[in-house]
Structure 1
Amino acid sequence: MIRFEDVSVTYDGAAAPALRGVDLAIPEGELALLVGPSGVGKSTLLGAVSGLVPHFTGGTLRGRVTVGGRDTRLHPPRELADLVGTVGQDPLAHFVTDTVEDELAYGMECLGLPADTMRRRVEETLDLLGLAELRERPIASLSGGQQQRVAIGSVLTPHPKVLVLDEPTSALDPAAAEEVLAVLQRLVHDLGTTVLMAEHRLERVVQYADQVVLLPEAGAAPVTGTPAEMMAVSPVYPPVVSLGRLAGWTPLPLSVRDARRRAGALRERLAEVTPQEPAAPARTVEPPRLPVSTKRFGLFRRRPQTAAAPASASGTTGATPAAVLDGVTLRRGRTEVLRDVTLSLAPGETVALMGRNGAGKSTLLRTLVGMEAPSAGRVRLPGGAAPRTTAPRELLRRVGLVPQDPRDLLYADTVAGECAAADRDAGAAAGSCRALVDELLPGLADAAHPRDLSEGQRLALALAVILTAEPALLLLDEPTRGLDYAAKHRLAGVLRELAARGHAVVLATHDVELAADVAHRVVILAEGEVVADGPMAEVVVSSPAFAPQVTKIIGSGPWLTVPQIRRALEAA
């Protein structure tokens, strides 16, 4: 169904091809998973299938790409629309109408399908993706995860023979991701649809793939094979594979179920050791603004922390809180988006804010930074400051938000321009922001335009812009979208360093693996209310939806991550 014949793609002005020497065949009715580190050309390969490369992106495509016998060089995307459905990393760039129902029908209208067929397929798709309650909602009012489901639904309704998906589950909560993947499985198995998917959250999808296409590095030819074969050599792999490598299991497990069947001996060994809990949060009064001279490359020199009593489950201590929400309710029309939320965020504490799509996580973060005004209750930053009445330059030092769409923070024409502006706004030494970018994502060119960056690269740049001001409270909304495992590891290191220095960090995330790695505490929202609030190990162990893979595999004790198990075994 999809065939690449000696394909290379070189973008205008690029020093080297984004893809080189790609020979690849994907049969009809298979789910092929495209994996590899960030920046190796996965999105370029997907774009070549849909015709976006080179018709929309520009550049030069050598060789031949055919889909269902059509040469994509000779057929622009509009002539492939009946055959190929595409969802990119950014759902907002995909939408052309205002409401959910209209968006689901738009592609079929363009193909001239009968009205009764369109009505039936819209209803089927609303049910398949759990969108029925949102059918009349404006797309702009939806959460990021809800928008992603709508984008996927809009390409399902025309019933294409090929689906090309770039990070389709990145903004979805675990339950919604399982629903979407179940739909894709049904399309592949029952209708013979061919699916080519790039995804960094391999723990969600690798067990469903028929074959894996591995791009090991930029410019390298892809390697294909079964998921088990490719995970044995891939530089990126999910926790279940990492645990299999640590335990020496052959063949490597791809799913929690496979790993649980082999984990008996490992459980016995772990029963004799005590899990190392995440380090207790450092406790200080409000983190002082450090002189620029105390910075080191990329991160910060530590200063001695003032010892204090351990945090309670709610995060309150004798230290001055980094932020307090007291009975916060927020209404939009007749809908209560937040309902009587009371939280205290302590210095040095990393909090994972979790819950299904539309639970109110992003709204809570925007309320903390002053972008939303509570209908009732109050929000206070250190010193009793209210975010909506604090001067912008002072607010930068108290609280910083990296939103779901990093482009909301980026307005310069180059990476260098963004960094220079961040240094000026924060009153930091020249080069401070650039050093943070290099720490988070090495190799990002100064001359690159932010709009030309991948989702992961834009996130790293936006995070560096916010961190330049060293805010006492750092808020991140879905911070791992577009990040591979290596980039997530670097991000986790930065967040641990900030927490150790006394900064409070709040992550609104569906990435349970990142939360298990860095969070001291979990707050779960449902319908705008706090339904759980406690230490990470206690909350996730009892939650089938939010438990990381390691917890599900071991099944007893608060085991959360593979590094935690490795350290325990080495110490035993």
Structure 2
Amino acid sequence: MDVSIRDVSYTAPTGQQVLDRVSLKPPAGRLTLVCGASGSGKTTLVRLVNGLIPHFHHGERTGEVLIGGREVARIPLGEMGRFTATVFQNPATQFFTTTVADELAFAAQNYGVPPEEIIRRRLGALKELGLEDLADRDLRGLSGGQLQKVACAQALTQQAPVILLDEPTSNLDPEGIEGIRSVIARLKALKRTIIVAEHRVHFLGGLVDQAVVMDDGRIVRRMSGAELFSMGDAERRRLGLRSLTRPELPRRTCCGSPLEVVDVPAVRAAGASRARGPKERRGLVISDMVVERGGRRILDLEHLDFPEGRVTGIIGANGIGKTTLVRAICRLQRCQRRARIELDGRPLGRGQAFLVMQDVHRQLFAESVADEASAHRLQRLGLAALADRHPLSLSGGQKQRLVIATAIDQDARVIILDEPTSGVDHRHLLSIATELRALAAQGRVVIVVSHDDEFLAECADRIIRLL
């Protein structure tokens, strides 16, 4: 189906001009990649096509947005699901039901699809993304990466002619990213018109037909997919783009010392010995941590240590328990009573640990960016020009950096970040890595949960891999 954006400008209700005379015609049945810096207008472009602008997000829009020859502004929002399916940057905001099975049936039920066809689509999507084991799960018990996979499965079951994906791999492990690539390849073979807004682009090699780079609300570069993936590193960095090939953890840290990788079972084998208690040392030590949910053991860790003065990355498959672990450290997740969490040999006290969550909307409280973090920190993280903006008016990547700025401003000895680069371009990835290195140099304990090997290569001293 044809999509056409013609000379569109958009000004948000706050008065900020987000898009400035943007024109784009994604080829029907092909894949268009939209990339560029955080806050450049990528998500706004997606909202133009799915009708959220102007039907839900108000403001002033000029120019034309056509889908199948019809002006989107004149198509009722309830009908847009027949034309487009969207995977949002924060998938938790797009669900209407409480279980995976119900969510995958929701859109089709609303459009009167026969029950047997709904079941066929649902089973097909679950199999395509390897989610059969989640079919009967409650959405509220899933990890961020699992929620992202469910959102992609929902888009698959909707069978709309235009598919929009906004940062679809931001919280996914390598296996999940390969699953998304397979789904996108299948949709392309089915002649769907696909628009992907992404910072992490390496997984789309060989699939992109047209690529555009945005900056400050304008399209500043257009190229074919072949031109994009043949680009040299110097030009890629100049445009602020992430790695064009799949990143891998290096053998050595950014400081030149060997990278330590420790494999730890998330649930120890039955009958394994219990921890006798950590030795006195500087840093954070966890012993005998057991977390259960719904009668299922999520974590059973005998011993983990996080030294001060170092950045420790935590990696592992979606749903393995990474977020549960860091929430338990901050007492946001209940553990069995015998669990011990100690800092420098003493029980971790209140206010000694600060967690930057995956969903940073929960951690923005002030009326302006300037009131959330110090001017010095905003400057270092590229947010100074946004000081007068309301935090919730920022892009996903900008919100992420703002909460990181507030975390760095805390006096907490333990700083924990859960997927801190999910909506972040290459330049700001480097600035966050620099800030975390500086925190470690101050003698703090820095813990990063991430699937982003490109980021971990820039900041991590050691890696804990949950199995």
| TM-score relative to the length of structure 2 | 0.89
Measured after TM superposition, the shift of residue 504 of structure 1 is 1.7
Residue 485 of structure 1 is matched in structure 2 by: 426
Are 2:305 and 1:344 equivalent residues in the alignment?
yes
Measured after TM superposition, the shift of residue 312 of structure 1 is 8.3
8 Å CA contact retained: 1:107, 1:155: no
8 Å CA contact retained: 1:207, 1:255: no
The more displaced of 321-330 and 174-183 is 321-330
Go from structure 1 to structure 2 and tell me whether the alpha carbon gap of 1:368 and 1:194 turns closer, same or farther (over 3 Å shift). same
Residue 4 of structure 1 is matched in structure 2 by: 5
Measured after TM superposition, the shift of residue 450 of structure 1 is 2.2
8 Å CA contact retained: 1:210, 1:226: yes
Residue 155 of structure 1 is matched in structure 2 by: 155
Task: Say which structure, 1 or 2, has more relative contact order (CA 8 Å, 6+ apart).
Answer: 2
Residue 33 of structure 1 is matched in structure 2 by: 33
Aligned mate of 2:417, from 467, 470, 476: 476
Residue 143 of structure 1 is matched in structure 2 by: 143
Query: Any stretches of 5+ residues in structure 2 without a counterpart?
Result: 264-277
Alignment of 1:450-529 (within 5 A): 450-526=391-467
Aligned mate of 1:374, from 328, 332, 335: 335
8 Å CA contact retained: 1:280, 1:520: no
Measured after TM superposition, the shift of residue 255 of structure 1 is 7.0
Structure 1 SS opposite 2:331: coil
Give the letter for the 2:208 counterpart: A
Residue 239 of structure 1 is matched in structure 2 by: 243
Distance 2:256 2:225 in 1: 38
Are 2:316 and 1:355 equivalent residues in the alignment?
yes
Give the letter for the 1:474 counterpart: I
Distance 2:170 2:461 in 1: 23
Kindly provide the CA deviation profile for residues 380-438 of structure 1, in whole angstroms up to 9, marking residues without a partner as x: 33244434xx3xxxx32x2111111112222233223333xxxxxxxxxxxxx232122
Structure 1 SS opposite 2:82: coil
Distance 1:314 1:213 in 2: 40
Kindly provide the CA deviation profile for residues 260-285 of structure 1, in whole angstroms up to 9, marking residues without a partner as x: xxxxxxxxxxxxxxx8754389xxxx
Aligned mate of 1:439, from 356, 380, 396: 380
Counting matched residue pairs gives 445
Residue 274 of structure 2 is matched in structure 1 by: none
Residue 220 of structure 1 is matched in structure 2 by: 218
Distance 1:148 1:277 in 2: 30
Kindly provide the CA deviation profile for residues 325-383 of structure 1, in whole angstroms up to 9, marking residues without a partner as x: 11222112321111134111111111110001000000110111122232264333324
8 Å CA contact retained: 1:33, 1:212: yes
Residue 131 of structure 2 is matched in structure 1 by: 131
Structure 2 SS opposite 1:229: helix
Give the letter for the 1:122 counterpart: R
Give the letter for the 2:10 counterpart: V
Distance 1:25 1:312 in 2: 48
Measured after TM superposition, the shift of residue 13 of structure 1 is 3.7
8 Å CA contact retained: 2:30, 2:209: yes
Alignment of 1:540-559 (within 5 A): none
Distance 1:142 1:149 in 2: 10
Give the letter for the 1:239 counterpart: S
Sequence identity (%)? 33
Go from structure 1 to structure 2 and tell me whether the alpha carbon gap of 1:222 and 1:314 turns closer, same or farther (over 3 Å shift). closer
State the superposition RMSD in angstroms: 2.6
8 Å CA contact retained: 2:375, 2:384: no
Kindly provide the CA deviation profile for residues 129-158 of structure 1, in whole angstroms up to 9, marking residues without a partner as x: 122111111111100000111112112212
Distance 2:155 2:112 in 1: 15
Query: Any stretches of 5+ residues in structure 1 without a counterpart?
Result: 241-253, 257-274, 282-309, 420-432, 527-572
Go from structure 1 to structure 2 and tell me whether the alpha carbon gap of 1:314 and 1:209 turns closer, same or farther (over 3 Å shift). closer
Distance 1:130 1:55 in 2: 35
| TM-score relative to the length of structure 1 | 0.73
Give the letter for the 1:412 counterpart: A
Measured after TM superposition, the shift of residue 208 of structure 1 is 2.4
Distance 1:399 1:346 in 2: 14
Residue 272 of structure 2 is matched in structure 1 by: none
The more displaced of 137-146 and 2-11 is 2-11
The more displaced of 341-350 and 490-499 is 341-350
Distance 1:47 1:439 in 2: 30
Structure 2 SS opposite 1:438: helix
Residue 551 of structure 1 is matched in structure 2 by: none
Go from structure 1 to structure 2 and tell me whether the alpha carbon gap of 1:24 and 1:222 turns closer, same or farther (over 3 Å shift). farther
Residue 119 of structure 2 is matched in structure 1 by: 119
Distance 1:278 1:47 in 2: 38
Go from structure 1 to structure 2 and tell me whether the alpha carbon gap of 1:214 and 1:374 turns closer, same or farther (over 3 Å shift). same
Structure 2 SS opposite 1:487: helix
Measured after TM superposition, the shift of residue 65 of structure 1 is 1.1
Kindly provide the CA deviation profile for residues 147-179 of structure 1, in whole angstroms up to 9, marking residues without a partner as x: 111112112212000001100000111111111
Give the letter for the 2:216 counterpart: A
8 Å CA contact retained: 1:325, 1:377: no
Give the letter for the 1:333 counterpart: G
Go from structure 1 to structure 2 and tell me whether the alpha carbon gap of 1:335 and 1:520 turns closer, same or farther (over 3 Å shift). same
Structure with the bigger percentage of strand: 2
Go from structure 1 to structure 2 and tell me whether the alpha carbon gap of 1:471 and 1:314 turns closer, same or farther (over 3 Å shift). farther
Give the letter for the 1:212 counterpart: A
Q: Radius of gyration: which is bigger? A: 1
Alignment of 1:79-478 (within 5 A): 79-189=79-189, 191-215=190-214, 217-230=215-228, 232=231, 235-240=239-244, 277-279=253-255, 320-375=281-336, 377-387=338-348, 390=349, 395-396=350-351, 398-419=352-373, 433-478=374-419
The more displaced of 132-141 and 355-364 is 132-141
Structure with the bigger percentage of helix: 1
